[in-house]
Amino acid sequence: MVTQTDSHTQRAARVVRLSKFNGWSVACIAGGFAVLSLFSLSLSGIIVGAAVCGAGVMEIKGHQRLESQESGARGLMAGSQVVLVGCVVLYCWWRLWSFDPADPLAILGGFKNQLTDLAELALIPIGQLEAQVIQVYTLTYQLVAGLTLLLQGGLGLYYWVQVGRVEASLRASAP
């Protein structure tokens, strides 16, 4: 027979395992991009990387609180996902807003000339190439924003419900 304490322990262990993987992944990957952005002097990259890294650290602090049965884990863990989603969606919006459809190949930087040369060799009209670049660029940022909202937003909801259940179980079993 599974007791309420066993159920609470199993639920907490599942949530902590998931949160450890997600929190450390987000913190390390975003932190790495922030450092790379620092070397390339990209202010927007530094800001976004640091903010997303902060969301990962927030999640790590949350699962540490959950493990030690301290209060506040729910807000930190679910809140970290809200911060992460907000950062990614705002970044995608900014990239789409700042994109210049009049010169879509400008995003290629130094590769612009090489790509136009290849397109000419392949008999692809430059107008068609530009239209495809616009379409791929727009779709990419829309997909990143949408998938982040769906996946990380869903994870935030999962944390809100499951950590809430664990914390309620802890309060009920407290003397």
| pTM score above 0.95 | no
Q: Where are the domains of the chain?
A: 4-173
SS (H, E, C) 157-170: HHHHHHHHHHHHHH
Helix (H) or strand (E) holding 80: helix 73-98
Q: How do the pLDDT tens digits run along the chain, 175 residues long?
A: 445 556 678 888 888 898 989 899 999 999 998 999 988 888 888 999 999 999 999 999 999 998 888 888 899 999 999 999 999 999 999 999 988 888 877 777 777 777 777 777 788 788 888 888 899 999 999 999 999 999 999 999 999 999 888 888 877 776 6
> What is residue 5's three-state secondary structure?
helix
Separation of alpha carbons 130 and 54, rounded Å: 37
Q: Which two tokens stand for residue 33?
A: 């991009």
Using CA atoms, how far apart are residues 115 and 120, in angstroms rounded to an integer? 9
Separation of alpha carbons 87 and 51, rounded Å? 7
Contact between 137 and 104 (Cβ < 8 Å)? yes
CA dist list (Å): 32 to 13, 24, 56 = 28, 12, 12
